[in-house]
Amino acid sequence: MDRAFLLLGRQMTLLDPLLDMFRGRAVTIPPLDGALKPNTLLDDAEVIAKAEAPDNLIESKGRIAFTTGKEVRSLADGKVVGAAPAPITALAVSRDGAVAAGLETGGIHLLSGKIAELDGFNCPVALAFGDDGALYVCNGSDAVPPSGWKADLMSKRAQGSLWRVDPASGERRCLADKLAFPYGVAVDETNGRVLVSESWQHRLVAIPLAGGPPEPLLTKLPGYPARLSPRPGGYVMSLFAPRNRLIEFVLMEDDYRADMMREIEDRFWIAPSLAPSRSFLEPLQNGGVRVMGIHKPWSPTRSYGLVVCLDEDLQPVMSFHSRANGARHGVTSAIAFRDGIVAAAKGGNAVLRVAPSGGEH
């Protein structure tokens, strides 16, 4: 049934430009249905660590670590196991235990192992090591640092790139450019490709290990995909914010968007957010959002919590949600660990453990 809907969606995509001539340009968002049917599993999940904006998770030798600010902390006891000179925006560990971190100030920083310090990356947002020790770097945008992601989206840029780097020598090669904020990377060496989540295009793409144009694999996602990680029989993907019709409409209105970006603080923009609304100045608060003081779980929202498990064909098979009225929003990283999924809710200041069986459809 799910594959039938995907096929219908592809056919409608081909017909949309023709239909728009008669109906006007439609603002449509893919529904949360099938394997993406909403639930409360992230809000019901066990909190295994609390920290300020936990971001990137890694697993090495049966232990998990996560980033928060300039620190890398052990999930087991919360102790600091690594630190960087600037906020850490990406993290990866190789088979031999080398740890590399992308920084808010740019570049790749060595935390452990024999890796050259790498400059020239102003927006490193995702890292992954290949089996041969090569480091794959997602540079989200040539125009902004990692914290400038919101401006990058609202400026409708596609200036991101994927790189293959020799960690020992620092030699690098661009595998793909003009990507719309590549925010997740997983190396699929069996099939000779690198999987990348292209956030502003709401899709997953495959890029050959030798380099070349991206091949779309999973398109028309209902949110903005972030990091990817392998799991038995597939992958785990986090989506850090939802799409909604108002934001999509603002992205179509160039003059209004330019005025908004020039005159209003970015936290009050009509744009995606990592955390639920906390100020009366933020948009989307009344009407269908709050009814008689109650925040409705089905209401339009700029933030959401969503983790999706994919099969080996990159199709969704289960998902875990924190809905509009939840608190575990802004999930930027999730990994399979033992018999569950561990997720970092950056907007919820928590690292969570959830059982995969609970999200199966």
Largest CA distance in the chain: 62
Q: What is the pLDDT of residue 338?
A: 87
Q: Nearest 5°: phi and psi at 189?
A: -70, -25
Same domain, yes or no, for 204 and 306? yes
Same domain, yes or no, for 18 and 40? no
Same domain, yes or no, for 137 and 98? yes
Same domain, yes or no, for 51 and 129? yes
- Residue 262: its H or E element: helix 254-263
Q: Which long-range contacts (CB under 8 A, 24 or more apart) does 63-72 make?
A: 64/335, 64/337, 64/342, 65/91, 66/333, 66/344, 66/351, 67/91, 67/101, 72/99, 72/101, 72/111
Q: Nearest 5°: phi and psi at 247?
A: -65, -40
For the chain, helix, strand, coil in percent to 5 are: 20, 40, 40
Q: What is the pLDDT of residue 290?
A: 64
Distance CA 352, CA 255 (A): 41
Same domain, yes or no, for 302 and 237? yes
Same domain, yes or no, for 12 and 42? no
> How far is C-alpha 65 from the geometric centre of its chain's CA atoms?
18
Q: Which of 262, 282, 306 is nearest to 40 (CA)?
A: 306
Same domain, yes or no, for 61 and 149? yes
Q: What is the pLDDT of residue 7?
A: 41
Strand blocks (E) in 181-267: 182-188, 193-198, 203-208, 215-218, 223-231, 234-242
Q: What is the CATH number of the domain that holds 227?
A: 2.120.10.30
What is the domain extent for residue 17?
1-30
**Is 65:75 a contact under the CB 8 Å cutoff?**
yes
Q: Which of 296, 297, 303, 334 is nearest to 318 (CA)?
A: 334
Q: What is the pLDDT of residue 134?
A: 94
Q: What 8-state DSSP symbol labels residue 315?
A: -
**Is 345:306 a contact under the CB 8 Å cutoff?**
no
Same domain, yes or no, for 314 and 326? yes
**Is 225:199 a contact under the CB 8 Å cutoff?**
yes
Same domain, yes or no, for 91 and 8? no
Which residue type occupies 335?
I
| Residues belonging to the chain | 361
pTM (2 decimals)?
0.89
Same domain, yes or no, for 2 and 148? no
Same domain, yes or no, for 37 and 125? yes
- Residue 217: its H or E element: strand 215-218
Distance CA 19, CA 12 (A): 9
Q: What is the pLDDT of residue 357?
A: 57
Q: What does each of the 361 residues of the chain score in pLDDT, given as a tens digit?
A: 444 444 444 445 566 666 666 656 667 888 899 999 999 999 999 999 999 999 999 998 889 999 999 999 999 999 999 999 999 999 999 998 889 999 999 999 888 766 667 888 999 999 999 999 999 999 999 999 999 999 999 999 999 999 999 988 889 999 999 999 999 999 999 999 999 999 999 999 999 999 889 999 999 999 999 999 999 999 999 999 999 999 999 999 999 999 999 999 998 999 999 997 766 666 665 555 666 666 778 788 899 999 999 999 999 999 999 999 999 999 999 999 988 999 999 999 999 999 865 444 4
For 38, other C-beta atoms within 10 Å of its C-beta total 16
Same domain, yes or no, for 306 and 329? yes
Distance CA 196, CA 123 (A): 15
Domain count, the chain: 2
